[in-house]
Structure 1
């Protein structure tokens, strides 16, 4: 991690208040997965093209999520089956700022719309405030239970001119009902844009490295590795096998 910290010190910084205009709550997302050993080269390549988010003097932030779904994994299966209109529901704690939000990500017509409310604490049940938010804003959603705990560290790169963010998630872990899995050898990157722009510096770098976009979200990845019952995954098989190979590589 020290090596990343040194490399990130060469980026110009951007603070949390300045990031508000680039929050991209209505956006297009593109995910990539690559080996953590390739991260230094990427940071060197992008250091003069992006700013790095700094919160409380930290360039690498700790994140903690609790995802909610039905016991039959409705949201997971909607994603797997390519349903055009689907959801992710979670609590998210931003460790470096101690802010916690209840968030709903709605995917529709290849766009991601994120709506959220700030809450007092990170908890393993919906609680009154979150339940009220769901009833008022998303009455169509079924009853939800906590399904997955997820932690990771994130580097957030920002290009204000292109109105995009490029997040890099490291040291990813998942836990569900006593079963846990840890991914220390991979990076899950996500390019977040107001509109699709394949001239993005980050996208062009990924293309140059022959890294193709991944369909697998962190929630779906964690579900695949921690759910102890058979679950449909044939549409994720390519990404699933690639992730296993990358994480097991020495």
Structure 2
């Protein structure tokens, strides 16, 4: 067996039970497809990892709609490295039609805390009354902050993901590929690259050590911020310069 078939399958309920990391540390790496395959094969060889499998499918299509103010407050907070920053999005699991409204904030130790609300796929590009209340509670509880005015859908990212899980360690790895970013101003597609994210309760586990041993180093990456930087005129993306070069070298905007 090769590729993802080299891993035993694990159902969604088992993945959630093994590595339900709504509060977590995320470490991101950008790898060429060839280097990622080498890394993935080493995980398969270890016998510790399984692959998320739903109905025989192991790669899944995602669509994420991001909400921001007219002056892109959440983007600017992230670019400036603000401690009290947040992100608002819907995530549609295109293969199943399931959808969630998500608010991501930073915890007291600067770990990522994600608050989720089940959502109707038909509402993926709007903030409903229930979602607005959920957002207001989350921001107030996290920061004592009120919801900024003018939050609306600003862009969408589409990509394909597969998920590997080490149930004994409670660690999850996602690999995102085929990234496409869409806004009113146009659309761009990333060149072939694997965005690998190690999600765990703490840094420095076996997966991170393997990545470091092959010369990979953590990279600041946000799919939303990459999309804004490449699609929004005048928005600088200096913190993500390396990721922008890896994903969109010399890209020019094209019509959606």
The answer to whether the 8 A contact 1:13-1:53 is kept is yes
| Structure 1, unpaired ranges of 5+ | none
Structure with higher strand content = 1
Deviation at 1:83, TM superposition (A): 1.0
Q: Which residue of 2 aligns with 1:38?
A: 35
Q: Which residue of 2 aligns with 1:238?
A: 242
The answer to whether the 8 A contact 2:225-2:237 is kept is no
Report the TM-score when normalising by structure 2: 0.87
User: Which of the numbers 159, 166, 178 marks the counterpart of 1:159?
Assistant: 166
Deviation at 1:126, TM superposition (A): 1.1
Runs of 4+ residues over 4 Å off in structure 1: none
Equivalents in 1 of 2:84, 2:52: separation in Å?
Answer: 31
**What SS does the aligned partner of 2:6 have?**
coil
Q: Deviations over 1:145-201 (max 9, x none)?
A: 1111111100100011111100000101100104101114111111111122x1x23
Equivalents in 2 of 1:246, 1:37: separation in Å?
Answer: 22
Equivalents in 2 of 1:182, 1:37: separation in Å?
Answer: 19
Equivalents in 1 of 2:158, 2:2: separation in Å?
Answer: 23
Deviation at 1:236, TM superposition (A): 2.6
Report the TM-score when normalising by structure 1: 0.89
Deviation at 1:6, TM superposition (A): 4.5
The answer to whether the 8 A contact 2:26-2:200 is kept is yes
The answer to whether the 8 A contact 1:56-1:96 is kept is no
The answer to whether the 8 A contact 1:151-1:174 is kept is yes
Deviation at 1:111, TM superposition (A): 0.1
More deviation in 212-221 or 120-129?
Answer: 120-129
| Structure 2, unpaired ranges of 5+ | 141-145, 252-256
The answer to whether the 8 A contact 1:46-1:201 is kept is no
Deviation at 1:132, TM superposition (A): 2.5
The 3 A distance-change label for structure 1 pair 208 and 9 is same
Q: Which residue of 1 aligns with 2:143?
A: none
Q: Deviations over 1:123-152 (max 9, x none)?
A: 212122212222333352213111111111
The 3 A distance-change label for structure 1 pair 138 and 121 is same
The answer to whether the 8 A contact 2:23-2:111 is kept is yes
Counterpart mapping for 1:20-169 below 5 A: 20-21=16-17, 22-47=19-44, 48-108=47-107, 109-122=109-122, 123-139=124-140, 140-143=146-149, 144-169=151-176
**How many positions carry a matched residue from both structures?**
240
